[in-house]
Structure 1
Amino acid sequence: MASHSRALVTGASAGIGRSYAEHLARTGCALVLVARRRDRLDELASQLRDAHGVEVEVLPADLADPAGVATVAERLAAEPAIDLLINNAGYAARGMVAELDPAALADMIQVNVVALAQLSHAAMEAMRALGRGRIVNVSSGTVFAAFAGNAGYGASKNFVMAFTRTMQVEAEGTGVEVQLLIPGVIATDFHAVAGNDLARFPAERVMQADDLVVASLRALEMGEPVCIPSLPDVSTWDAYVEAEAACWANASRDKPASRYHGA
């Protein structure tokens, strides 16, 4: 398991974030736990201190509120230094585009896109100054699919993927490592909050949060910049990147392709 001295985990009170906190605490990593509800954070912090003897800071913050994002960004810039950021907070507000609640869409974009980008900025700035650190940004397997009712959430997670991959390019030579984590269906309360029934997914498609987190932390050890935990062969991702490169090579030419020279 990757060794870190102090990690900040967003969305830490439940699901994937809680699993990260528990696994990191077992390695002796000090923690800064971020979520909206102080009572849940206090309960988790007490459990982790008692079980593992680690230092745990509790930082209640609502990332749907710019003031909450600013509070977390300030902690990322402060001492003691954070050497691992788990940018996990996020949720799905789903619905057909013609029927979406504009306020719910805006709130989701604030958490999934704006907060993640601003915390990535704060962490990257602080870690680059130190010449070390790691950032894990959590996307979603839905980036690879287009289906009705997922336009807003899917687009927000496509932002995470594109933003994180560019961060990886910019991090080269700085001592900062950036992981893009792309989970599939994970057994957490995320689905109930989004109005879905986890039971409708075949069991072979549903991963436990602990297994996801172990894969992510192992990928950090292995130096894998993109972690798709259930992908059998990383060459599949390589082929995806190669297909992108072929599109990019031909995205800007002086003339349209021959098929557009109509008869």
Structure 2
Amino acid sequence: MPTKPTVLVTGASSGIGATYADRFARRGHDLVLVARDRAKLDALAERLRRENGVAIDVLQADLTVPDQVRAVEKRLRDDARVGILINNAGTNVGGSFVEQSLDDIDRLVALNATAVMRLAHAVAPRFAAAGEGALVNIGSVVGLVPEFGTTVYGATKAFVLYLSQGLRHELDPLGVYVQAVLPAATRTEIWSRAGADPAALPPMMEVDDLVDAALAGFDAREAVTIPHLHDAGQWDAFDAARQAMIPGFGTVQPAPRYTSAA
């Protein structure tokens, strides 16, 4: 693999994905940009080539369409130059669970969860065989907060976190780095696409700050990066509490609170 591997970025036409593309181009990496909007991809690619002198391929794909997902999978499997995958493409749907249409929910799950898993699965065997590579999955703090009420979106982001943590345990011993990035509210187009009222939106982190923080975590080889969380000890305590429960899962008798009424 070259000293600076090619980076494949999904959802690269705007927001977090476009900013990742910009930052890696500045670092001298060639890119493969994936998104639905060909015009935006072409404009971004032209600018990044001009400013940074890197090679950029554009791969138009809707990751909710099986044939188009398979085309990106093929690129990940076959192109040994691709050594970093930024699994960023995602969406949200407005309204509560009972208000959302099943078709919209299906597309949400296909993009936010299924496509993330499929692309990771396409590239992980090659990375593992090579003993190097990096897989970055963009999740959300919403996956930790069911109280926010974005039930299916949050469930997909909880999936992304678990997938990343599981892959970290499997792939880290083989030399492959896996990072989960969990943003909170960030100023991207996902809000308008979900039909949010701009006047009702909370204060948000700028996307440049979000990606620069995520890349600091990438460079430090963090397993989970939460740019909005100032007290890192809170995450450490949360994870330690989770791990402290594990021995209890191996008991063979129900807990007394479930048997006292018998």
Say whether the fold is shared (TM-score over 0.5). yes
Contact map agreement 1:94 1:153 (CA 8 A) in 2? no
Shift of residue 188 of structure 1?
0.9
* Structure 2 equivalent of residue 17 of structure 1: 17
Distance 1:98-1:148 versus aligned 2 partners, 3 A rule: farther
1:29 aligned residue: 29
Give percent identity, aligned residues only: 39
Q: How do 1:1-263 and structure 2 match up within 5 A? A: 4-147=4-147, 149-203=149-203, 206-260=204-258, 261-262=260-261
Contact 1:94 1:152 survives alignment (8 Å)? no
* Residues 94 and 151, structure 1, Cα contact 8 Å, conserved in 2: no
SS of equivalent residue, structure 2 residue 28:
coil
Compute the displacement of 1:246 (Å): 2.8
Q: State the Cα RMSD in Å.
A: 1.6
Deviations 1:198-231 (A, max 9, x none): 543443xx11111111111111111211100121
Residues 1:42 and 1:113: Cα distance change in structure 2 (over 3 Å): same
How many residues get paired? 259
Structure 2: how far apart are the matches of 1:148 and 1:92?
13
Give a deviation string over 1:102-142, Cα, whole Å, max 9, x none.
01101111111111001011121121122111110000111
Q: Secondary structure in 2 aligned to 1:186?
A: coil
Matches of 1:194 and 1:147, distance apart in 2 = 19
Instruction: Give the residue type in structure 1 aligned to 2:242.
Output: E
Q: Is the 1:34–1:58 Cα contact (8 Å) retained in structure 2? A: yes
Conservation of the 8 A alpha-carbon contact between 1:10 and 1:86: yes
The answer to whether the Cα contact below 8 Å between 1:13 and 1:41 also exists between their aligned partners in 2 is: yes
TM-score relative to the length of structure 2:
0.94
The DSSP-based 3-state class of the residue aligned with 1:168 is helix
Amino acid aligned to 1:251: F
**For 1:219 and 1:4, how far apart are their aligned partners in 2?**
18
Unaligned ranges ≥5, structure 2: none
Q: Please list every run of at least 4 consecutive aligned residues from structure 1 whose deviation after the TM superposition is greater than 4 angstroms.
A: none
Q: Shift of the alpha carbon at 1:44?
A: 0.8
Q: Structure 2: which amino acid aligns with 1:116?
A: V
Q: Match of 1:178, SS?
A: strand
Equivalent AA in structure 2 for residue 176 of structure 1:
V
* Equivalent position amino acid for 1:173 in 2: P
Partner Cα separation in structure 2 for residue 164 and residue 31 of structure 1: 22
Partner amino acid, structure 2, of 1:247: M
SS in 1 for 2:40: helix
Counterpart AA for 1:137: N
Pair 1:141–1:148, CA change in 2 (3 A): closer
Query: 1: distance between equivalents of 2:197 and 2:167?
Result: 34
Q: CA deviation at 1:234?
A: 2.2
User: What SS does the aligned partner of 1:207 have?
Assistant: coil
CA distance in 2, matches of 1:9, 1:103: 26
